[in-house]
Structure formats: C-alpha cells, structure tokens
Amino acid sequence: VQLVESGGGLVQAGGSLRLSCAATESISNFKSMAWYRQAPGKQRDLVAGITSEGRPVYTDPVKGRFTISRDNAKNTMYLQMNSLKPKDTAVYYCNADKGPLTDYWGQGTQVTVSS
C-alpha cells in the first residue's frame, strides 16, 4: 500500500489549503485513516481522523477550522484547512490503519503558514 500526499504549500495566516492523500488500494479496506503533523523539533501529533463509516474526530487545536473527509470512489482522503495559523506549520502525514500492527504512512507534505 502506498499513500501519496499532496496540496501542501506556503500560505498567509488566515488562508486555506486542502491536502489530499491518495491510496494505491481501496480505502474501504482501512479501518480508519488520519492526518498527523510534525513541526521541527517536535513529535508527530494526531490532527484528525476518520473511520471507515466516515465519522470524523478532531483534536482541539484544529476543531472548527479543519475538516477531514474521504472519497471511497477515488480512494482519497482530504483535509480542508481554513483559518490557518503560523502554529499550523508542519509536515503533514497521511496514515491508514488496516488492523493490529498494520498501518501505513505517506511521505509527508510541507505546510508553511506565514504571519
């Protein structure tokens, strides 16, 4: 399984970006999918997740600003990021959970928010 992220870039504070995570197999096979991010010198943290039934979960820093979604027909997960802040600057990673001890990661996409 390969996961390929895209959509990162440089944006001013208050702006928006939409990240995509395309999988090389049907995402219906995954129990859940999620977005994580890692800022320089910090650990990788969960941003948002979505179950196979489409139920989203958000962490407090992004609630009300980010929206996670999935399109099973396109085998793609998305993260719509609005009202971006400089502290959202990080490398964003896509994760897919296929079961116990079986999960996959993308290569990451850089998001930089300037003040």
Q: For 67-85, how does the pLDDT look when each residue is reduced to its tens digit (9 = 90+)?
A: 999 999 999 999 999 999 9
pLDDT of residue 49: 98
pLDDT at 99 over 90: no
- pLDDT over 90 percentage in the chain: 94
Question: What confidence category does residue 111 fall into, taking pLDDT thresholds of 50, 70 and 90?
Answer: very high
Give the separation between CA 37 and CA 55, rounded to whole angstroms: 20
Per DSSP, helices labelled H in 3-106 are none
Closest-CA residue to 96 (of 66, 76, 74)? 76
Inter-residue contact 75 to 22 (CB < 8 Å): yes
β-bridge pairing 56-58 and 66-71: unpaired
- pLDDT over 70 percentage in the chain: 100
pLDDT of residue 101: 82
What digits encode the pLDDT tens for the residues 16-68? 999 999 999 999 999 999 999 999 999 999 999 999 999 999 999 999 999 99
Question: What confidence category does residue 100 fall into, taking pLDDT thresholds of 50, 70 and 90?
Answer: confident
